[in-house]
């Protein structure tokens, strides 16, 4: 476990060459859960990382944003039907589950959420997350039970595999295209599903080198990154975000004020006719400085991944190269190094009064002088940081703006304070959160 910011900087950033992977390479479980970017190592990671960079460009992300607005419309419609007396109790966990599944179905897979999609995601995440952990944490055991793992995976990823194969073939056959991540990954292939060469490229006019282009199988597998990495992270950030709004009405008022004065209010509040008309222009989100600080504070207090890990690719002495911190600690090849994100974020020497929810820590005037970037690891840092950081922040800001403009969230007698974390070995997740909700006066 390493928690010294200078050493963290070396591991995650400046000496990346020795710490590029999350686990030692070489376990052959090529499958939907082990061939996604977070699990890849060495050259496989480098090649796939170049491809993800081609997908997660600002231009591509902006094309997908209207679909997030669509999904917010749907949630607002549902809430409006339930708020009968200008006051209501909402099971936040349930509402967010629907919103996030719908957003994932629509922006990634080009379909709307359905009971089959929900069940497919449940099966996938419940079985495959433990599998991913086994592969990451117990490589030797993985080698022994790899056949059993493959078998288990194939029974649980069937819904998505079938859906993707069907949808990809259909788009190839009809020449139709979607405004979604599936399409962006499809455009990275060398051949379409009928074996015909693809000339199209997602990177504007740039031709993708042949060696980078995806096979059919790799294309399908990359789409599994989303149910694994998207669902849990968005769920945690939004769930705890809404909770903090409800228990901190002054922060909520300040946020609403910023949103209303910067990009305008959200309809008349009666809820019948104004849900679709208050779509937000995503470019205006950059002006919301307090919203940005609020989200950074949500991620600080409730980091989705409470530790990061790296494996050592060659014997390395930590702190020995051009560093002020010479530890003399030898890290042998294949050693796993963990970085305790949650503990760093809750350490009072980095963040005074760490249990206090205080977005002002992250206001521009306090940010650069008070916070060492290597103590803030909500999205990781360095070449292996979250590839979707900008997109997720955009998505979170958009959803929060839409909801805060229209609704007021408040604490109920049976709102659990402080909130309870789910008992999950890898990530912090939300337990049921009940909040009051009413139209903004």
**Least distance CB 36 / ligand HEM (angstroms):** 7
Angle, helices 158-174 vs 146-156, to 10°: value is 60
- Residues 6+ positions from 355 with CB-CB distance below 8 Å: 301, 346
Q: What are the angstrom distances between the C-alpha of 151 and each of 140, 159, 164, 188?
A: 18, 15, 19, 29
One character per residue 107-146, x = contact with ligand HEM (rule: CB under 6 A) = ----------------------------------------
**Residue 12 or 208: which CB sits closer to ligand HEM?**
12
CA distance 233 to 392: 9
The residue range among 192-200, 224-232, 398-406, 408-416 that interacts with ligand HEM, by the rule CB under 6 A, is 224-232
Site for ligand HEM in 143-182 (CB under 6 A): none
Does position 233 bind ligand HEM by CB under 6 A?
yes
**Residue 75 or 304: which CB sits closer to ligand HEM?**
304
Q: What is the DSSP string of 101-124?
A: HHHHIIIIISS---HHHHHHHHHH
CA distance 139 to 133: 10
Which residue's entry shows tokens 């004065």? 261
Does position 437 bind ligand HEM by CB under 6 A?
no
Instruction: Give the total of residues touching ligand HEM (CB under 6 A).
Output: 24
Q: What is the DSSP string of 403-440?
A: HHHHEEEE--TT--SSPPBP--SSB--BPP-EEEEEE-
One character per residue 300-339, x = contact with ligand HEM (rule: CB under 6 A) = ----xx--x-------------------------------
**Least distance CB 224 / ligand HEM (angstroms):** 10
Does position 237 bind ligand HEM by CB under 6 A?
yes
* Strands 329-331 vs 316-318: parallel, antiparallel or unpaired: antiparallel
**Count of Cβ atoms closer than 10 Å to residue 168 Cβ:** 21
Residue whose CB is nearest to ligand HEM in the complex, by number = 380
Largest distance between two CA atoms of the chain: 66
Do the Cβ atoms of 40 and 48 come closer than 8 Å? yes
One character per residue 357-396, x = contact with ligand HEM (rule: CB under 6 A) = ---------------------xxx---xxxxx---x----
CA distance 173 to 289: 46
**Least distance CB 45 / ligand HEM (angstroms):** 6
**Residue 225 or 415: which CB sits closer to ligand HEM?**
225
**Least distance CB 429 / ligand HEM (angstroms):** 12
**Least distance CB 230 / ligand HEM (angstroms):** 4
Element (H, E) at 36: none
**Least distance CB 356 / ligand HEM (angstroms):** 21
The residue range among 79-87, 121-129, 229-237, 406-414 that interacts with ligand HEM, by the rule CB under 6 A, is 229-237
In the complex, the residues that contact ligand HEM under the rule CB under 6 A are 12, 37-38, 49, 225-226, 229-230, 233-234, 237, 299, 304-305, 308, 378-380, 384-388, 392
């Amino acid at each position: 476990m390493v928690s010294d910011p200078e050493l963290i900087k070396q591991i995650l950033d400046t000496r990346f060459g020795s710490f590029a992977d999350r686990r030692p390479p070489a376990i052959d479980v090529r499958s939907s859960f082990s061939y996604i970017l977070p699990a890849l190592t060495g050259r496989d990671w480098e090649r796939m990382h170049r491809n993800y960079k081609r997908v997660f460009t600002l231009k591509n992300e902006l094309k997908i944003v209207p679909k997030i607005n669509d999904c917010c419309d749907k949630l607002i419609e549902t809430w409006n039907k339930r708020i009968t007396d200008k006051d209501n109790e909402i099971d936040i966990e349930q509402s967010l589950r629907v919103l996030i599944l719908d957003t994932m179905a629509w922006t990634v897979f080009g379909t709307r959420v359905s009971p089959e999609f929900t069940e497919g995601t449940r099966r996938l995440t419940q079985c495959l997350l433990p599998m991913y952990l086994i592969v990451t944490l117990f490589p030797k055991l993985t080698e022994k039970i790899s056949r059993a793992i493959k078998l288990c995976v194939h029974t649980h990823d069937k819904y998505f595999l079938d859906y993707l194969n069907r949808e990809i073939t259909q788009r190839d056959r009809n020449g139709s295209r979607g405004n979604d991540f599936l399409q962006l990954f499809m455009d990275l292939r060398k051949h379409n599903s009928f074996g015909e060469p693809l000339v199209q490229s997602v990177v504007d006019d740039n031709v993708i080198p042949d060696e980078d282009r995806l096979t059919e199988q790799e294309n399908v597998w990359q789409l599994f990154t989303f149910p694994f990495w998207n669902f849990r992270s968005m769920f945690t950030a939004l769930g705890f975000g809404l909770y903090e709004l409800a228990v901190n009405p002054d922060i909520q008022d300040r946020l609403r004020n910023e949103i209303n004065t910067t990009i305008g209010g959200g309809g008349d509040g009666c809820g019948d006719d104004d849900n679709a008309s208050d779509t937000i222009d995503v470019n205006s989100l950059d002006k919301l400085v307090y919203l940005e600080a609020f989200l950074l504070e949500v991620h600080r207090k409730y980091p989705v991944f409470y530790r990061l890990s790296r494996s050592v690719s060659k014997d390395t002495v930590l702190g020995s190269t051009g560093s002020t911190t010479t530890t003399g600690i030898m890290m042998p090849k294949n050693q796993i190094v963990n970085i305790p994100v949650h503990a760093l974020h809750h350490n009072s020497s980095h963040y005074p009064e760490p249990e206090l929810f205080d977005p002002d820590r992250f206001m521009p005037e306090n940010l650069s002088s008070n916070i060492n970037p290597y103590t803030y690891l909500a999205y990781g840092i360095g070449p292996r940081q979250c590839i979707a950081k900008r997109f997720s922040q955009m998505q979170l800001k958009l959803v929060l703006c839409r909801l805060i403009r229209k609704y007021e969230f408040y604490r109920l007698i049976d709102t659990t304070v402080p909130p309870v974390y789910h008992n999950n070995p890898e990530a912090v997740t939300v337990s049921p959160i009940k909040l009051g909700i009413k139209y903004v006066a």
